[in-house]
Amino acid sequence: MTLAEKIGQMNQLNFDQINKDLEEKIKKGEIGSLLNVTNAEEVNQLQQVALQQSRLGIPLIIGRDVIHGLHTIFPIPLGQAASFDDELVKNAAHIAAVESREKGINWTFAPMLDISRDARWGRIAESLGEDPYLAGRLGAAMVRGFQGNKLSDATSIAACLKHFAGYGAAEGGRDYNSTNIPIHLLRNVYLEPFRKSVEAGAATVMTSFNDNDGIPASGNGFLLKQVLRKEWNFDGFVVSDWASMSEMISHGFAADRKEVASLSANAGLDMEMVSQTYIQNLEQLVKEGKVPVQVIDELVKNILRIKIRMGLFENPFAPTGPGKTYSQAHLNAAREAAVKSAVLLKNNNQLLPLDVRKKIAVIGPMADAPHDQMGTWVFDGQKEYTVTPLKALQTEYKHINYVYEQALAFSRDKNKANFEKAVNTAKQADVVVVFLGEESILSGEAHSLSNINLIGVQSDLLAALKATNKPVVLVTMAGRPLTIERDLPNADAVLYNFHPGTMGGPAIWDLLFGKANPSGKLPVTFVREVGQIPMYYNHNNTGRPGPKNPMKLDDIPLEAKQSSLGNSSFYLDSGRDPLFPFGYGLSYSSFEYKDLKLSATKIKPGEKMKVSATLTNTGKYEGTEIAQLYVRDMVGSIARPVKELKGYQKISLKPGETKLVTFELSSDDLAFYGLDLVKKAENGMFNVWVGGSSDSGLKGSFSLEQ
């Protein structure tokens, strides 16, 4: 390869149309990848040019943001994370891969593994939540789903772990903002899901937009060379984010585009997305000795290795003939995913499941919002295929007696003109089901919010409906955990859905009518007030942990003398605790944990133990519980979190049935980066919990000793 041909492989451009110029560039070997070509014929035409008319015949790799489905849209990733279901997440990714390959797309920019502890950040929707263990397991499952058994299989696409690294910690939840993640937190929390997903065989990684502690990710050799290549043995390739390289100029990290190219190449970044500083400067930089040619060779080898592994040299083409896009099997899987991603937050007096004979008032802007129900990052999903809750009543749930009033045209609508109609509609029914939430455009990239209450006048609508004294079920469709504390008194039951995708409508009725039993658990903490952010379950204890019942604002006597009011960590106005903790979620049944047993009270490094408990379905319905294992390392060389998720299992139980739940815990599971920044388990005492949420569970303890 000539130097120019090597640099060409490192250049990725955005596609908007086929034209002479584009074909010329491909012929000259100036393009290694295109993103956003979505038409199979166009892909095939461009691949023909690459294979047959360029000197070396190197195929293109065609990327696209296939985040939660291509055409058949699954729940947004945050919703999928609520399923705690590795198989389900893997299958959703596999289906996305099948539909992508039909269009000639062979590379997706997913999964997004950014730990998200700030619901103001719009991209929390795209994340797998706040916990490194959960995000790591589900991220690895997504990688396996996208990539299949072999990258070269006809139904596989390459995965891309993003955004490396720390992007989710954007200051104040403002997108693209700086992050300040210190090294222990970076290693123990933010990098952990990436490590697991690299281990699962991810073919590519994308750098992030943020600077962490002043270093933009696209120029961060520590992350790309030391961590990714040296420590994790990653042998795929790294792509920048969209212009994240040239933006290093705005960061004030590079003086000009030439310096950008030099910084990124020397930091180990293989492919540049759209900003073209490589193609314009690398040859010159090599000549000047600022980028050694050996560096270019390594970068281009990483890219070609993946193209070979993907089988692109043999067949880069999209198949012709009928495909499986929107097949019944895909739609069924999307429906199952939506069912398993919903979280029941409240169910007073067992209002749910609803009796099918009851007359139902269906109200609200999200009851029939086929576009918004799909959520963020949907380019190819067609709203004509979306089955909304209203549409599901008109088609498959035809026997239900219902009345409908939209009340608000969309979530931000502030016009209350139809409230009276809505109230009258509610009065005609036995029960009110109100669909509220967020339009899809209110979350996702560059869509951060500083106020995350139900937007517009939706809370007022809910209050007006509650005032009818009819039982009210609140069903949400949202891109983030909203601050719904003030709405809870106005709803007898709450079924929380993150945007549920194409089949959300029937899935929701399956749950509301008890054809399915809610089993989702929260992948992220729900705060009471936006001012509590950041709040997450796996925080450090601090020297002055907050009490369970802290002093309240109104209990402070007038003209109270200056004092520290309990001397601990909490808010006077919103207390210590969140609204709902990580791992929380109800079922129509109830589950009881008993008889915690540890197979050992002492283990040595390298040993394993079993932690078990019996789980009984004490309710009337068959149901599935997500049993969770948490650990606390009581004393460490650095302070350790109050709890850390170390395992979960989904257990299905008939009414009255009991099963033994057994987790295996090894000393490796206790390892972390301590004071010396070497990953290992440290001797000492550990507490362990098995239960149904991060704030409950049976507790035991054991020690790790040499």
| 664 Rama sector, left if φ>0, alpha if ψ -120 to 50, beta otherwise | beta
- Shortest approach of ligand BGC to residue 77 CB, angstroms? 12
121-148 in b/e form (b: 16+ CB < 10 A) is: bbbbbbbbbbbbbbbbbbbbbbbbbbbb
Binds ligand BGC by CB under 6 A, chosen from 445, 625, 633, 695? 445
Site map for ligand BGC, 495-534, x if CB under 6 A? ----------------------------------------
- Shortest approach of ligand BGC to residue 264 CB, angstroms? 16
Residue at token pair 């949907």: 378
Binds ligand BGC by CB under 6 A, chosen from 162, 257, 521, 646? 162
The amino acid at 9 = Q
Q: Where are the extended beta strands (E) located within 398-506? A: 402-405, 431-437, 472-478, 493-498
CB of 77 closer than 8 Å to CB of 480: no
- Shortest approach of ligand BGC to residue 491 CB, angstroms? 34
What's the rounded Cα separation, in Å, for the pair 252 and 248? 6
Coil, helix or strand at residue 549: coil
**Contact call for residue 241 and ligand BGC (CB under 6 A):** yes
CB of 634 closer than 8 Å to CB of 684: yes
The arrangement of strands across the sheet holding 61-64 comes to 107-108, 61-64, 33-35, 11-14, 272-273
- Shortest approach of ligand BGC to residue 17 CB, angstroms? 17
Nearer to ligand BGC, 84 or 109 (CB): 109
**Contact call for residue 447 and ligand BGC (CB under 6 A):** no
Count other C-beta atoms under 10 Å from residue 314's C-beta.
Answer: 10
What's the rounded Cα separation, in Å, for the pair 426 and 464? 10
Tell me the site size for ligand BGC, rule CB under 6 A. Answer: 6
Active-site residue, selected from the candidate residues 85, 211, 241, 487? 241
- Shortest approach of ligand BGC to residue 555 CB, angstroms? 46
Nearer to ligand BGC, 109 or 237 (CB): 109
| 196 Rama sector, left if φ>0, alpha if ψ -120 to 50, beta otherwise | alpha
**Which of these, 340, 343, 341, 364, lies nearest to 352 by C-alpha position?**
343
> What are the φ/ψ torsions at residue 549 (nearest 5 degrees)?
-115, 80
Binds ligand BGC by CB under 6 A, chosen from 29, 37, 47, 65? 65
- Shortest approach of ligand BGC to residue 556 CB, angstroms? 46
- Shortest approach of ligand BGC to residue 123 CB, angstroms? 8
Coil, helix or strand at residue 458: helix
What's the rounded Cα separation, in Å, for the pair 678 and 637? 11
Closest residue to ligand BGC, based on beta-carbon distance: 109
- Shortest approach of ligand BGC to residue 93 CB, angstroms? 15
CB of 479 closer than 8 Å to CB of 76: yes
421-437 in b/e form (b: 16+ CB < 10 A) is: ebbebbeebebbbbbbb
Nearer to ligand BGC, 162 or 340 (CB): 162
**Which of these, 409, 596, 392, 655, lies nearest to 509 by C-alpha position?**
392
Task: Return all residues near 607 (Cβ < 8 A) that are at least 6 apart.
Answer: 600, 666, 667
- Shortest approach of ligand BGC to residue 57 CB, angstroms? 27
Task: Return all residues near 385 (Cβ < 8 A) that are at least 6 apart.
Answer: 71, 72, 326, 502
CB of 451 closer than 8 Å to CB of 529: no
Nearer to ligand BGC, 162 or 466 (CB): 162
Binds ligand BGC by CB under 6 A, chosen from 74, 109, 278, 404? 109
Nearer to ligand BGC, 65 or 492 (CB): 65
**Contact call for residue 242 and ligand BGC (CB under 6 A):** yes
Nearer to ligand BGC, 90 or 123 (CB): 123
**Contact call for residue 146 and ligand BGC (CB under 6 A):** no
CB of 260 closer than 8 Å to CB of 229: no
Task: Decide if 241 is catalytic.
Answer: yes
**Contact call for residue 368 and ligand BGC (CB under 6 A):** no
648-662 in b/e form (b: 16+ CB < 10 A) is: bbbbebeeeeebebb
- Shortest approach of ligand BGC to residue 189 CB, angstroms? 20
Active site positions, annotated: 241
Would you tell me which residues interact with ligand BGC (CB under 6 A)?
65, 109, 162, 241-242, 445
